[in-house]
A and B are shown apart, each in its own frame.
Chain A
Amino acid sequence: MEIKEIFLESIGSLTLNKLRTGLAMLGIVIGIGSVISLISLGQATQASISSRIESLGSNLLTINPGSSNQSGVRGASGSQTNLTLEDAIAISTAPEITTIKNVSPEFARRTQIITSSSNTNTQVIGASPAYSEVHKVEIATGNFISPSDVESLNKVAVLGPQVVIDLFGEGTEPIGQTIRISGKTFTIIGTTASKGGSGFGNQDDIVYVPISTAQKQLFGVNYLSSIALEAKSADLMTTAQNEVGYFLLNRHKLSDPTEADFSIFSQQDILNTASATTSTFTTLLSGVAAISLLVGGIGIMNIMLVTVTERIREIGLRKALGAKKKTIITQFLSEAVILTFTGGIIGVFLGVLASYAISVAMGSLFVISPASILLAFVVSVAIGIVFGWYPAKKASDLQPIEALRYE
């Protein structure tokens, strides 16, 4: 008997008891559907975290000062005050550094911002013109901080959209107005476009002032909180990290890298950590879904065993009429596989639908990898074979005489 014919016959006997077939299939539908949607959810989360990290700037390296170590008491990382504007200038001008495109010296501190009618507490960043380049900050209205602003210590400020809303209300145009930071009056020269999202500090809740003004007029310091560097390309990240690292060690008159009074993070490090975390969660969730798939498979096995018992007489007859063991096995196995494969198709469909619904509801990305769909089909067929095997074997082992006599 041809396989095709056996399949048609199996479909025929499955449609005889639609409710039971449907219920047996449901276990697989739910299992496959949840695997698909949870993998998709995991990948969407990963993609959105990656895009958020990348929105901080591309090919980004960050130099942070090391922790202070005074008389053996170690301070917090970044508490040392040895990273200076001169370091940043040296990096950008040194002829031996060839891999860096932009250097952005930064000084950040949270402080109170006051207008005539309202006030807010926000992050004030002393920035140079390179900041907008390195961190991909786009200007919505007006201008970003210019070289001359830095040179002449101008008291000008560029506001993030959240700060505009907090201080002036939505839909207002703040350019030309003034704000007071630490008792000093700043004129607003521009606003930045929204970057959206939160996490790692809201990128929209920031006030930018010239780095020189921040250091000398606002906070009275001569050090930096960090230097952000943009490498020329993604391939050069490691080279750039080493180049800048040894250059700074030299500049700080240190010979041993373990004594470095600074540290350099690459954006890739952060990305890797974040994606490792999300993939752990994806694996965990998929594992839970896989358990439901296992339960579904056991359901299939249970139904197939019932079917075999119910059809003992039919099996006996088929053997009496000349059906070989192989034919009987193929018949029952194909019933199980048709059950699980159809369940798999419906599961994939519902899983994709659910992923889409989740992505719409959460405003996240809609990510479906073809690999996970392919895997779902392979798994559903495999479940049919694994859990259909025992009942099919049992059917084929029946003695025709026993089966014919069975009442």
Chain B
Amino acid sequence: MNTPIIITEHISKVYKIDTVETVAVSDVSFTVNKGEFVAIMGPSGSGKSTLMHILGALDQPTGGKYILDGKNVESLSEDDLADIRNKKIGFVFQAFNLLPRTTTLKNVMLPMAYAGIPKERRVNLAKKYLEMVGLGDRLNHTTNQISGGQQQRVAIARAISLDPAIILADEPTGNIASAQAEEIMNIFKEINDKGHTIIVITHEPDIASHAKRIITMRDGKIVNDVKNGKHINFVHTHKK
């Protein structure tokens, strides 16, 4: 199963504030195949979050090419990008980012509503996914009535609700207790076993160890790419 789902070619992102240029991502090229479980590691400021925003079509690169599921993301309109985020990507954020004072069921239904899925089907799917993440008995709890770990599980149910090509998780365990973090990572593994591509951004080696491939970034560049213990695309620049 070597179908590439993410291809980045010399991607870079430069922020320009007044005359000062800050390079967040510089010349990043890598390929992720369908069904992979990738962890992107690196210290804060290494550009991993910026890279994730680009991969999630939340932000556009200032240079290079990004092909997501066969589609060049460059030069797409804002609404087309919204469509891609809706159908091809499932987001899991560090801060959960659920709608406050809204039931878990409605939270999971939201992306499906934007996709135009009829209400009845939405309810059934949302129930199914919430049961899958072990929250079948919390359908009508509002998000402030459940724990952090449970909130993140709602977010995961929401992320997979439209059966997206990839699931992007940005420090998914950053805000929850370590016992529950283990649970969350097990859910990701389960989802990965079902064939979903998963990319997790983290700075914790424990979390990254769940992944089958670990990409390490520093100063906006990929410095290490290890798949099942083997270096596949070792890039190390000595340029200063």
Contacts and interface: CB of A to CB of B under 8 A. Distances in A.
Interface stretch (B113-121, B188-196, B203-211, B225-233): B113-121
B91 A320 contact: yes
Interface stretch (B25-33, B51-59, B131-139, B178-186): B51-59
Given A324-B83, A325-B79, 10 more contacts: A1-B114, A314-B99, A317-B97, A320-B97, A321-B86, A321-B110, A322-B114, A322-B115, A326-B79, A404-B58
B97 A322 contact: no
Contacts of B35: none
Given A314-B99, A322-B115, A323-B82, A401 B58 contact: yes
B99 A320 contact: no
A321 B91 contact: yes
Interface in A370-407: 400-401, 404
A324 B82 contact: yes
Contacts, number: 55
Interface of A: 1, 5, 16, 313-314, 317-327, 400-401, 404
Given A322-B85, A325-B79, A401-B58, A313 B97 contact: yes
Interface string B90-111: 0101000101110000000011
B33 to A, nearest CB: 25
**SS of B interface (majority):** helix
Contacts of B58: 320, 400-401, 404
B101 A16 contact: yes
Contacts of A318: 110, 114
Contacts of B114: 1, 318, 321-324, 327
A16 B119 CA distance: 23
Given A401-B53, A401-B59, A325 B78 contact: yes
Interface residues of B, number: 25
Contact of A322 (B87, B93, B101): B87
A321 B85 contact: yes
Interface core residue of B56, B79, B82 (most chain A CB under 10 Å): B82
A396 to B, nearest CB: 9
A322 B83 contact: yes
Contacts of B79: 324-326
Contacts of B115: 322
Give me the 9 closest cross-chain CB pairs, A-B, nearest first: A322-B86, A322-B114, A321-B111, A401-B58, A324-B79, A317-B97, A324-B82, A401-B59, A1-B113
Contacts of B59: 401
A113 to B, nearest CB: 81
B11 to A, nearest CB: 16
Contacts of A319: 82, 85
B99 to A, nearest CB: 6
A1 B112 CA distance: 9
Contacts of A314: 99-100
